């Protein structure tokens, strides 16, 4: 991680391949302005991979003064829901992007139907009675040509009649499909009479029971792009083999030509990103919900304490590639730390407390010491932190028999209490099991504020909280959700679930916080979206309020550590 921290971000990034294409088109007058779209299927919450696509689509139109539509690709009624539609809009807004308009592929069902009729009339589409299994079997392979369907040469009249009856609900699911009539021996498998429509007697979250036939992705997507005059339809690499078919439908129909471009999808190690798998984690209660702070969803990152800016910086940093690669999870944390270091106020909190009594400090005395809110941002000013005779420190900041290089508290060694005094441990009290219950110290009153007038130095500074003034909180410590670098690659007989990290959540119930944190709470931001309040707990990491937190029971989440703790282990 030390190396990563030192990596300078290039001042001026060279153009990525999409920017090159766009600038060329603008210069040559191919289009006057650009129009992109972000086309999620509302069958789950957005994940960090979608964030990449959002930043790309919205980022390009922003940069070149164009527009981006939000289009719900809602052609599969069985898995879709308005809950997802709402959540997707909230996440895009939270990231800070505004769409020109919202569309639904289902708004185009009438138009798509009419175009399918037109293709039938041109002799370029037919109704097939084969089962899906037969269709799959007769498709051939990359090396073996497919076999024509026995229904391929139906007359236009018969096809029109059957397609209308499909639409009218005369047939059951799977009894018939509409296929494009292209070439069953085509070297590109996508051209072997692709299915355009299937029968699905299912309730649609927008069109209700109006339709019982639904268009397939390949038939719906390009035509939707065309209707909206999308100049750059950007999708992930696996769709490159679909591009010729995308163009084919548009050409046959003679409609406005939009173009598809492909970029490498975002993959991150220690993470799964398929919505199907994320849904399984939620449904089977491996996590507390889509917004569990361990989830790679946008709402999960938000609850974890990620800022929209840190996610956008991450997407910017990884760039736009044309070849698949895997991004290190620590780069996400690096982006978060980089931003929070600038904006998060510092506080003191003790997560695993042990009591310290300063024997020579006047009993019953409290003094207010001045602490800096954020050394990176002087405008954040200072605050007063109460100090008294009894304080809590972190259990691991004391060692009874310490090795030579231990610079924290150990009997006889002077250390600094942050913003307070130099103290020296003298003795300990223990319970029957030998656990330390209390540490006795002495302090030097001349070192108030944390410096000695005679210039003597100490090697260690530790954080603390006044015992009398401490407030209690629950702190949830998160680690990676998966222990395996490639969770999807499970050995025979195992699944990605076997790669879950059993220690991804640790709940600390007995934490002591400085009183300034009593009023910490999440708030709706200027866009009306709830955001946690974020802090750096000195020496411990970045933390934020959880949505479960109340004034009576404060709950904080650890967003990330101050340094990359995984780099050392590896």
Residues in contact with ligand ATP by the rule CB under 6 A: 39-41, 49-50, 52-53, 73, 235-236, 265-266, 273-275
Q: What residue 127 binds from ligand ATP, Mg ion, none (CB within 5 to 8 A, per partner kind)?
A: none
Min CB(280)–ligand ATP separation in Å: 12
- Among residues 76 and 373, whose Cβ is nearest to ligand ATP? 76
Tokens of 497: 């679930």
Q: Report how many helices (DSSP H) and strands (DSSP E) the chain contains, helices first.
A: 14, 29
- The helix (H) or strand (E) run that includes residue 557 is strand 554-560
* Residue 337 is among the residues annotated as catalytic for this protein: no
In the three-class reduction of DSSP (H, G, I as helix; E, B as strand; rest coil), residue 213 is classed as strand
Interface of this chain with Mg ion, residues 499 to 528, rule: CB under 5 A: none
Q: Which of 19, 41, 134, 367 is catalytic?
A: 41
In Å, what is the CA distance from 68 to each residue of 26, 103, 315, 325? 17, 11, 18, 26
Stretch that binds Mg ion, among 37-45, 183-191, 398-406, 545-553 (CB under 5 A): 37-45
d(CA 163, CA 127): 7
Q: What residue 39 binds from ligand ATP, Mg ion, none (CB within 5 to 8 A, per partner kind)?
A: ligand ATP
**Using an 8 Å Cβ cutoff, are 255 and 223 in contact?**
yes
Tell whether residue 41 is a contact of Mg ion (CB under 5 A): yes
* Residue 275 is among the residues annotated as catalytic for this protein: yes
Min CB(23)–ligand ATP separation in Å: 22
Min CB(255)–Mg ion separation in Å: 23
d(CA 439, CA 344): 32
Q: Give the 3-state DSSP-derived string for 274-318, with helices as H, strands as E and coil as C.
A: CHHHHHHHHHCCCCCCCCCCCCCEHHHHHHHCCCHHHHHHHHHHH
- Among residues 206 and 448, whose Cβ is nearest to ligand ATP? 206
- What is the chain's Cα-based Rg? 31
- Among residues 215 and 532, whose Cβ is nearest to ligand ATP? 215
Q: Which of 67, 179, 181, 275 is catalytic?
A: 275
* Residue 312 is among the residues annotated as catalytic for this protein: no
Q: What residue 53 binds from ligand ATP, Mg ion, none (CB within 5 to 8 A, per partner kind)?
A: ligand ATP
- Among residues 49 and 305, whose Cβ is nearest to ligand ATP? 49
Min CB(260)–ligand ATP separation in Å: 10
| C-alpha 367, offset from chain centre | 44
Kindly compute the dihedral angle of the four CA atoms of residues 387, 390, 391, 396, in this order, to the nearest 10 degrees: 150
- Among residues 105 and 125, whose Cβ is nearest to ligand ATP? 105
Stretch that binds Mg ion, among 34-42, 219-227, 231-239, 247-255 (CB under 5 A): 34-42
Burial class (CB in 10 A: 0-12, 13-18, 19+), 209: exposed
Tokens of 212: 């019982």
Min CB(234)–ligand ATP separation in Å: 7
Residues lying near Mg ion in the complex (CB under 5 A): 41
Catalytic positions are 41, 265, 275
């Amino acid at each position: 991680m030390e190396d990563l921290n030192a990596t300078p971000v290039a001042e001026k990034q060279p153009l990525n391949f999409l920017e090159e294409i766009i600038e060329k088109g603008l210069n040559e007058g191919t289009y006057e302005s650009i129009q992109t779209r972000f086309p999620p299927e509302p069958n789950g919450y957005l994940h960090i991979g979608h964030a990449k696509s959002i930043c790309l689509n919205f980022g390009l139109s922003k940069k070149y003064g164009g527009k981006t539509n939000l289009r719900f690709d809602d052609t599969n009624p069985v898995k879709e829901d308005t809950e997802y539609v709402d959540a997707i809009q909230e996440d895009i807004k939270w990231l800070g992007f505004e769409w020109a308009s919202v569309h639904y592929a289902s708004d185009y069902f009438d138009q798509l139907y009419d175009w399918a009729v037109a293709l039938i009339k041109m002799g370029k589409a037919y109704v097939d009675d084969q089962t899906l299994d037969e269709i799959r079997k007769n498709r051939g392979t990359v090396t073996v040509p497919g076999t024509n369907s026995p229904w391929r040469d139906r007359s236009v009249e018969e096809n029109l009649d059957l397609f209308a009856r499909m639409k009218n609900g005369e047939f059951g699911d799977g009894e018939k499909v509409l296929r494009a009539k292209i070439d069953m021996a085509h070297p590109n498998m996508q051209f072997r009479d692709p299915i355009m429509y299937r029968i699905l007697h299912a309730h649609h979250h927008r069109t209700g029971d109006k339709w019982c036939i639904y268009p397939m992705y390949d038939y719906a997507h390009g035509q939707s792009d065309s209707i909206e005059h999308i100049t750059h339809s950007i999708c992930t690499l696996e769709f490159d083999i679909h591009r010729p078919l995308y163009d084919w439908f548009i050409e046959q129909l003679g409609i406005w030509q939009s173009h598809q471009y492909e970029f490498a999808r975002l993959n991150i190690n220690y993470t799964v990103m398929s919505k199907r798998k994320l849904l399984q984690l939620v449904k089977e209660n491996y996590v507390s919900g889509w917004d569990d702070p361990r989830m790679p969803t946008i709402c999960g990152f938000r609850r974890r304490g990620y800022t929209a800016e840190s996610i956008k910086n991450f997407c910017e940093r990884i760039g736009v590639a044309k070849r698949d690669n895997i991004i290190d999870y620590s780069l996400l944390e690096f982006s978060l730390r980089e931003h929070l270091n600038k904006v998060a106020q510092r506080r003191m909190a003790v997560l695993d407390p042990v009591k310290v009594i300063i024997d020579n400090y006047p009993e019953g005395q409290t003094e207010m010491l001045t602490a800096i809110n954020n050394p990176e941002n002087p405008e954040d000013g200072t605050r007063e932190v109460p100090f008294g005779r009894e304080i809590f420190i972190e259990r691991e900041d004391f060692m009874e028999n310490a090795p030579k290089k231990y610079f924290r508290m150990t009997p006889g060694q002077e250390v600094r209490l942050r913003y307070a005094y130099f103290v020296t441990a003298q003795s300990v009290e223990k319970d029957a099991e030998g656990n330390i219950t209390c540490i006795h110290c002495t302090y030097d009153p001349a070192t108030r504020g944390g410096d000695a007038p005679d210039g003597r130095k100490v090697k260690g500074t530790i954080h603390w909280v006044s015992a009398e003034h401490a407030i209690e909180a629950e702190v949830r410590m998160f680690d990676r959700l998966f222990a395996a670098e490639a969770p999807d690659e499970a050995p025979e007989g195992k699944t990605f679930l076997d790669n879950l990290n059993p220690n991804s959540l640790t709940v600390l119930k007995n934490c002591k916080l400085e009183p300034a944190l009593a009023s910490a709470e999440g708030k709706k931001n200027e866009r009306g979206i709830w955001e946690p309040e974020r802090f750096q707990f000195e020496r411990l990491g970045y933390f934020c309020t959880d949505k479960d937190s109340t004034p009576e029971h404060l709950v904080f989440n650890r967003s990330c550590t101050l340094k990359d703790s995984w780099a050392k282990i590896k």
